[in-house]
């Protein structure tokens, strides 16, 4: 029986143009390839667009986070603010200046307008110079500038180089504000009233006191001999011309004998010339000439003997000896130069004519004695040292870089080690050479020592006074700060205590500093007496100043 077959339609009919391979898979025909090539660019664009959506959304998210952080100081918002369930409360705090935003005078200058800005002062080297513009001073009433303050500032700038502020610096326009008086106290900031005090500017150096060489004498016997008598010891006060010792020297006796002979010969020749002159008409002229020549020679011998004795220090006067007998001349010469008080101690029967006194040429004290009776001495041996201590020498060693500030006549004050007293003198010599190793220059001063308290070879510290100001403007040490290009202090605002709501502000003021004495430093220009500045704890204000300027930079360069 034959059976009919009905062909049912296929569920997934293949395109007419497709062919089937032996394993049943479809094989692309040329028609299909042509259709795929026509729709390829569109599909690729769509595929690329869909694939970049994810990274783009991530970048947008990061941009949103950075935008929010930049405009909200990178503070995480509260959950309530994010959900919107609670109304957002404004944050009234200025992080930059550490005060409530509503009272921050730096963020809103209209709350407390700044005063006039006079800029740079070429004369005194500060900004808003109070010496030229006293209205800048933070005082209830504008102070008067005394001519003495201007003169003092001129002296201070002329006597020594000062650390300079930079004219391009703008830090003086800054103000440091506190939220309240309590916050100032909690920060540990203390204030001081600017006052006047004496200031001395000086160059300090180590020094030594020595005897004045022009008032010091070293005594020795002028001829060899033996010590016959010693009358003075160490510490004894001697006057000029006083005898310290007596030496027995044979050479002295010979010189006295020569003088005695010369005087006798001179007297004989003078008588001979006188007799020949009386008989001039009866004798030859040559005899008179010979006699006069012999007289001249005798007179020369007298002069030579006299000079030899003078060279030994004897106070000889030959005119008083002429006309005396030989015995009288011998008596005068035997104890020549020996004072009466010593003559009284001598035995006239045993005394010789060889004695020579050792006489002090100056008034002073015997500082050293190196002789005893009976010792043999000669001109090379020092017997006594005598010094006049009414005036001493001070030698100081001063740094070479201070030489331009020194001048002869400047006052010097010296305090010996271990002493409570100061002595004053005058600078009278500056060395023309510096020490090759220490690079120090030696200077000298005269120190009066009327009371005799100064001692030779005493070490200590001396000050060469450059300038002495009895009424200088001073601030406590440590209350000023160097900010890289300017020296500044923090001046309290004059309305600080007007009311509880007054702004608690400190103004940054550039200053020029002078000498430092003890706990105080001189201010040449920048503040006036009566103003109040931050002293102890002012580092807190400096830290806030640095924070305020952090990142802003300073367009000036330290000079």
Q: Tell whether 228 is covered by a domain.
A: yes
The domain spanning residue 157 has which CATH number?
A: 2.40.420.20
Q: Tell whether 25 is covered by a domain.
A: no
The domain spanning residue 444 has which CATH number?
A: 2.40.30.170
DSSP letters spanning 263-308: HHHHHHHHHHHHHHHHTGGGS-HHHHHHHHHHHHHHHHHHHHHHHH
Q: Is residue 459 within 8 Å of 208, Cβ to Cβ?
A: yes
- Mean pLDDT of the chain, nearest integer: 85
**Statement to judge: residues 241 and 371 lie in one domain:** yes
Nearest CA among 382, 358, 378, 379 for reference residue 368: 382
Cα–Cα distance measured from residue 199 to residue 221, given in angstroms and rounded to the nearest whole number = 55
**Statement to judge: residues 452 and 474 lie in one domain:** no
The domain spanning residue 369 has which CATH number?
A: 2.40.50.100
**Statement to judge: residues 255 and 241 lie in one domain:** no
Q: Is residue 363 within 8 Å of 184, Cβ to Cβ?
A: no
**Statement to judge: residues 111 and 171 lie in one domain:** yes
Q: Quote the pLDDT of residue 46.
A: 65
Q: Tell whether 322 is covered by a domain.
A: yes
Last residue of a domain, one of 385, 401, 428: 385
CA neighbours closer than 13 Å in the CB half-sphere of residue 505:
23
**Statement to judge: residues 108 and 164 lie in one domain:** yes
Residues for the chain: how many in total? 559
Domain count, the chain: 4
- Burial of 266 from C-beta contacts in 10 A (0-12 / 13-18 / 19+): buried
Q: What is the pLDDT of residues 359-376, one digit of tens each?
A: 999 999 999 999 999 999
Q: Tell whether 344 is covered by a domain.
A: yes
Q: Is residue 533 within 8 Å of 192, Cβ to Cβ?
A: yes
DSSP letters spanning 338-350: --HHHHTTS-TTT
Domain range enclosing 169? 101-199+469-551
Q: Tell whether 556 is covered by a domain.
A: no
**Statement to judge: residues 149 and 175 lie in one domain:** yes
Last residue of a domain, one of 300, 331, 353: 353
Degrees to nearest 5, angle at CA 309 with 303 and 311: 100
Q: Tell whether 363 is covered by a domain.
A: yes
- The pTM of the whole model exceeds 0.75: no
Q: Quote the pLDDT of residue 547.
A: 81
Q: Tell whether 536 is covered by a domain.
A: yes
Cα–Cα distance measured from residue 498 to residue 145, given in angstroms and rounded to the nearest whole number = 26
**Statement to judge: residues 501 and 413 lie in one domain:** no
**Statement to judge: residues 295 and 240 lie in one domain:** no
In which residue ranges of the chain is pLDDT below 50?
1-27, 30, 32-38, 78-89, 553, 557-559
Which H/E stretch holds residue 524? strand 520-525
Q: Quote the pLDDT of residue 411.
A: 95
Q: Quote the pLDDT of residue 2.
A: 40
**Statement to judge: residues 451 and 425 lie in one domain:** yes
Cα–Cα distance measured from residue 419 to residue 241, given in angstroms and rounded to the nearest whole number = 35
Last residue of a domain, one of 385, 402, 428: 385
Q: Tell whether 484 is covered by a domain.
A: yes
């Amino acid at each position: 029986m034959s059976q009919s077959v009905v062909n049912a339609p296929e569920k997934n009919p293949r395109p007419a143009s497709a062919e089937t391979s032996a394993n049943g898979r479809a094989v692309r025909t040329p028609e299909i390839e042509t259709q795929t090539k026509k729709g390829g660019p569109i599909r690729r664009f769509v595929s690329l667009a869909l694939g970049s959506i994810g990274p783009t959304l991530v970048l947008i998210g990061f941009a949103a986070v950075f935008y929010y952080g930049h405009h909200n100081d990178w503070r995480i918002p509260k959950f309530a603010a994010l959900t919107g369930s609670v109304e957002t409360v404004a944050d009234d705090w200025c992080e930059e200046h550490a005060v409530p935003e509503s009272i921050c005078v730096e963020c809103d200058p209209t709350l407390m307008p700044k005063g006039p800005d006079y800029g740079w002062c070429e004369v005194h080297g500060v900004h808003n110079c109070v010496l030229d513009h006293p209205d800048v001073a933070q005082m209830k009433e504008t102070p008067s500038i005394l001519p003495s303050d201007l003169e003092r500032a001129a002296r201070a700038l002329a006597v020594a180089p000062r650390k300079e502020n930079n004219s391009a610096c703008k830090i003086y326009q800054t103000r440091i504000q506190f939220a309240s008086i309590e916050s100032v106290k909690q920060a540990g900031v203390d204030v001081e009233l600017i006052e006047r005090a004496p200031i001395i500017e000086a160059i300090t150096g180590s020094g030594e006191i020595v005897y004045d060489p022009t008032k010091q004498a070293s005594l020795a016997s002028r001829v060899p001999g033996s010590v016959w008598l010693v009358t003075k010891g160490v510490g004894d006060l001697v006057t000029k011309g006083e005898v310290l010792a007596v030496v027995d020297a044979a050479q002295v006796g010979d010189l006295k004998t020569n003088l005695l002979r010369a005087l006798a010969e001179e007297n004989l020749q003078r008588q001979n010339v006188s007799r020949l002159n009386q008989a001039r008409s009866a004798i030859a002229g040559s005899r008179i000439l010979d006699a006069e020549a012999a007289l001249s020679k005798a007179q020369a011998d007298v002069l030579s003997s006299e000079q030899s004795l003078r060279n030994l220090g004897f106070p000889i006067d030959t005119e008083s000896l002429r006309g005396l007998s030989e015995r009288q001349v011998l008596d005068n010469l035997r104890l020549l130069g020996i004072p009466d008080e010593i003559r009284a101690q001598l035995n006239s029967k045993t005394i010789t004519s060889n004695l020579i006194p050792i006489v002090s040429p100056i008034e002073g004290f015997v500082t050293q004695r190196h002789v005893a009776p009976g010792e043999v001495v000669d001109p090379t041996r020092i017997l006594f040292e005598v010094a006049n201590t009414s005036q001493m020498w001070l030698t100081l060693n001063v740094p070479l870089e201070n030489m331009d500030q020194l001048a002869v006549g400047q006052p010097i004050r010296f305090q010996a080690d271990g002493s409570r007293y100061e002595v004053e003198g005058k600078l009278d010599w500056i060395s023309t050479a510096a020490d090759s190793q220490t690079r120090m220059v030696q200077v000298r001063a005269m120190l009066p020592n009327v009371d005799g308290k100064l001692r030779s070879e005493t070490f200590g510290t001396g000050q060469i006074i450059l300038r002495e100001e009895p009424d200088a403007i001073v601030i406590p040490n440590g209350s000023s700060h160097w900010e890289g290009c300017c020296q500044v202090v923090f001046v309290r605002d004059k309305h600080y205590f007007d009311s509880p709501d007054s702004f608690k502000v400190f103004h940054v003021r550039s200053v020029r500093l002078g000498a430092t004495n003890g706990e105080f430093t001189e201010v040449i220009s920048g503040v006036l007496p009566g103003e109040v500045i931050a002293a102890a704890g002012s580092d807190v204000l400096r830290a806030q100043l640095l924070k305020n300027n952090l990142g802003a930079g300073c367009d000036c360069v330290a000079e």
